[in-house]
Structure 1
Amino acid sequence: MPKTSTDDRDWISEAIRKVDADANRSADTHLHPFPLAVDGIDLYLKDESVHPTGSLKHRLARSLFLYALCNGWVGRDTTIIEASSGSTAVSEAYFARLIGLPFVAVMPASTSLEKLALIEFHGGWCHLVEDPGTVYDEARRLASEYGGHYMDQFTYAERATDWRGNNNIAESIYEQMRAERHPVPAWIVVGAGTGGTSATIGRFVRYRRHDTRVGVADPEGSAFLDGWLADRADVTTTTPSRIEGIGRMRVEPSFVGGVIDDMVRVPDAASIATMRWVSRVLNRPVGGSTGTNVWASLGVIEKMRQAGETGSVVTLLCDGGERYSRTYYDDSWLVEQDIDIAPYSAALDDLEKTGVLPDVD
């Protein structure tokens, strides 16, 4: 942007006020205890689906808008462009409309129809590409064409959020856990889409000197786990993740491997079976990434049980399942994708009865 005029400065100030006010209008997200028959170990779900735009990405979008506004990258005539697998775009469309700016989401053509409808409901426009690996370059091209600003969540997620506190998701978890029987979690388990959430939580844990370990659950098709194991940022994959919102074909710039204590690969069948199981237990639909998070958390809990450890494990309920009625909740879609959830569903049934999670061959 050119040098900021007084009128532009006033507009930016008012835009920041509006974005900040969004956080003040709603209480913090809920922390739900999840019923498990495992002695001495408690599982909690941090319910990010209750944000105004229905997902964890509402926090990220708010931070990205504040970051861009305070850096002088966005003005009264700026078109906002983002590359997204859906949920971030929903949330950014909401904030763009809040401050009166046009918004374009560049997304894979496979993105759920429900998410496309939500983006349009919030005033955004969806630009679909067939190859998910091209979303970054296409977003840059559109930003240049429109004279707009490419938000670039995959670069700025880890730096736009104040990881030291200021009611970020990590500080919220610890505040809400204070009265529980194991107030300092043994583990916090999250997925990685940009890497921003694991970076925020991992940095906060170290800054506050907690004994909590941070685990990351990575779906099939994602480059994060292999990049973390090899300690390399140039690892890529050839097939995109089928679990929307997490997993990327490259190691994103916001992924900070040094704050992660362990990572696991979660099969798509396990994610979807667990998503459906959690939905039945809670009597409400949850999304696929929640299934990924919970399956990985159950693996952590089983290892704790075998080692005779007690404590608490916290993971994220990232979004509601209403967005996935044509995919993860559709048995015909599972057949088309050659996904067999039966072995994982059986293992979860055993866990419910015995408190022990069996191995799945």
Structure 2
Amino acid sequence: MTTPSDETPGGPADRTCERTRSWCDEAIRRVVADANRSADTHLHVFPLPESWGIDLYLKDESVHPTGSLKHRLARSLFLYGLANGWIREGTTVVEASSGSTAVSEAYFAQLVGVDFVTVMPRKTSPEKIALIERYGGRCHFVDIPADMYTEAERLAAEPGGHYMDQFTYAERATDWRGNNNIAESVFEQLALERHPVPEWVVVGAGTGGTSATIGRYLRYRRHRTRLAVVDPENSAFFPGWVTDTPDYATGMPSRIEGIGRPRVEPSFVPSVIDMMIPVPDAASIAAMRHLNDVTGLCAGGSTGTNLWGVWQLAARLLAEGRTGSIVTLICDGGDRYRHSYYNDEWVASQGMDLAPYRAAIDTFLAKGTWHPPA
């Protein structure tokens, strides 16, 4: 019951609704409980020649409930939206994504009991659409990929809508100081290894959130580890970083799902990156397939992009006569890409020849010399 002072200008105004806070409390409990039920992701060792004195570790993010690194991001974005009061009972969460982020956000939307809509290109693979719909998400299609942003904003502007906007909030939704973020997890898992502080961590950039979290953590903890970010063809991140142009844009989509963007996104923090490495798409797919052949680990194209960068950095350590460790990520599972990256007909249709890149990897691992295709 309100008092007269509650209704007069200048009097106290109580906007807290017991039901609203109770719903939010329960939603946050569900999201945190989901994390609490999940064991940490594995840190696999890739077999390198013992004489090199170099250890390579792959943190397997494909084992998350939704199968990718984006599970961490979606969890952080939902907690951020809930804690800010942006996501409430009856909210429709809207995102611009045709990839793994949409799958993971659909999962968390279903977990807390809100509707989820993702805006995606009409040519998105049936496998991705099916994964999103499995978790109760709805796919809204656009014919021009660049229209995803504005269409998502338009849908979210309708009553009860909230635009999650992963490309803006990825770098701020995750606690880069620790709190079991991916960087803290890696260093805890390396504690008993012979090189517990890696020389390099290698990741790609989709939103830029992962590289921002890791780069900030390395500086905060005063580790000597350097951060390398790999970037596929058509992406704006590498040229934007090299030229120090924060609004650089290529206007072209990446063929390597999950990383690379046609514009430099707001969550990309270039100042925490020590090196960027451009990677041909054929090299990404060749490295991804090589990983599967050697270890049995079936990963997506962005993992191959990571590995192509790893081989260059390992070759540098060898040339300098140094030992140490390198850490990279298995970003998602390869089952999502049976129709594309693991399909020889699809690869040929894209005009890619994997043989020279595969030969470069084989030669490097056999002889320790790095001679990539011209």
> Which among 37, 49, 56 is matched to residue 25 of structure 1?
37
The C-alpha deviation readout for 1:143-177, integer Å capped at 9, x for no partner, is 12353101000000000000000000000000001
- Whole-angstrom CA distance in 2 between matches of 1:355 and 1:242: 29
Shift of 1:5: 1.1
1:40 aligns with 2:56: no
- Whole-angstrom CA distance in 1 between matches of 2:207 and 2:76: 14
Runs ≥4 residues deviating over 4 A: none
| RMSD (Å) for aligned C-alpha atoms | 1.2
In structure 2, give the amino acid aligned to 1:25: R
The C-alpha deviation readout for 1:74-121, integer Å capped at 9, x for no partner, is 110000101113100000000000011111111223333211111011
The question of whether the paired residues in 2 share the 8 Å contact of 1:85 and 1:245 is answered with: no
- Whole-angstrom CA distance in 2 between matches of 1:356 and 1:109: 43
Aligned to 2:72: 59
Q: Which moved more, 1:245-254 or 1:112-121?
A: 112-121
1:194 aligns with 2:189: no
- Whole-angstrom CA distance in 2 between matches of 1:275 and 1:213: 23
Shift of 1:132: 1.7
In structure 1, give the amino acid aligned to 2:158: E
Matching of residues 91-130 of structure 1 within 5 Å? 91-130=104-143
1:158 aligns with 2:171: yes
- Whole-angstrom CA distance in 2 between matches of 1:185 and 1:179: 12
1:10 aligns with 2:45: no
The question of whether the paired residues in 1 share the 8 Å contact of 2:90 and 2:160 is answered with: no
Aligned to 1:307: 320
- Whole-angstrom CA distance in 2 between matches of 1:227 and 1:70: 33
Aligned length: 360
Shift of 1:4: 4.0
- Whole-angstrom CA distance in 1 between matches of 2:143 and 2:202: 32
Gaps of 5+ in 1: none
The question of whether the paired residues in 1 share the 8 Å contact of 2:45 and 2:58 is answered with: yes
The question of whether the paired residues in 2 share the 8 Å contact of 1:106 and 1:139 is answered with: yes
Shift of 1:189: 0.4
In structure 1, give the amino acid aligned to 2:120: M
Aligned to 1:279: 292
1:288 aligns with 2:301: yes
The question of whether the paired residues in 2 share the 8 Å contact of 1:112 and 1:324 is answered with: no
In structure 1, give the amino acid aligned to 2:175: D
- Whole-angstrom CA distance in 2 between matches of 1:92 and 1:248: 19
Of all paired residues, the percent bearing the same amino acid is 65
- Whole-angstrom CA distance in 2 between matches of 1:85 and 1:303: 36
- Whole-angstrom CA distance in 2 between matches of 1:85 and 1:230: 29
- Whole-angstrom CA distance in 2 between matches of 1:315 and 1:305: 18
- Whole-angstrom CA distance in 2 between matches of 1:85 and 1:235: 22
Aligned to 1:204: 217
In structure 2, give the amino acid aligned to 1:29: T
Aligned to 2:10: none
- Whole-angstrom CA distance in 1 between matches of 2:334 and 2:39: 22
2:215 is paired with a residue whose SS is: helix
- Whole-angstrom CA distance in 2 between matches of 1:23 and 1:114: 25
Q: Which moved more, 1:163-172 or 1:137-146?
A: 137-146
From the CA coordinates, give the structure whose radius of gyration is larger: 2
1:217 aligns with 2:230: yes
Aligned to 2:268: 255
Shift of 1:359: 2.5
1:348 aligns with 2:361: yes
The question of whether the paired residues in 1 share the 8 Å contact of 2:318 and 2:368 is answered with: no
Q: Is the alpha carbon distance of 1:103 and 1:302 closer, same or farther for their aligned partners in structure 2, counting shifts above 3 Å?
A: same
The question of whether the paired residues in 2 share the 8 Å contact of 1:224 and 1:247 is answered with: yes
- Whole-angstrom CA distance in 2 between matches of 1:267 and 1:146: 44
Q: Which moved more, 1:171-180 or 1:280-289?
A: 280-289
1:60 is paired with a residue whose SS is: helix
Matching of residues 311-326 of structure 1 within 5 Å? 311-326=324-339
The question of whether the paired residues in 2 share the 8 Å contact of 1:80 and 1:104 is answered with: yes
1:145 is paired with a residue whose SS is: coil
- Whole-angstrom CA distance in 1 between matches of 2:17 and 2:105: 26
Aligned to 1:235: 248
1:239 is paired with a residue whose SS is: coil
In structure 1, give the amino acid aligned to 2:25: S
Gaps of 5+ in 2: 1-13
Q: TM-score, normalized by length of structure 2?
A: 0.94
Aligned to 1:244: 257
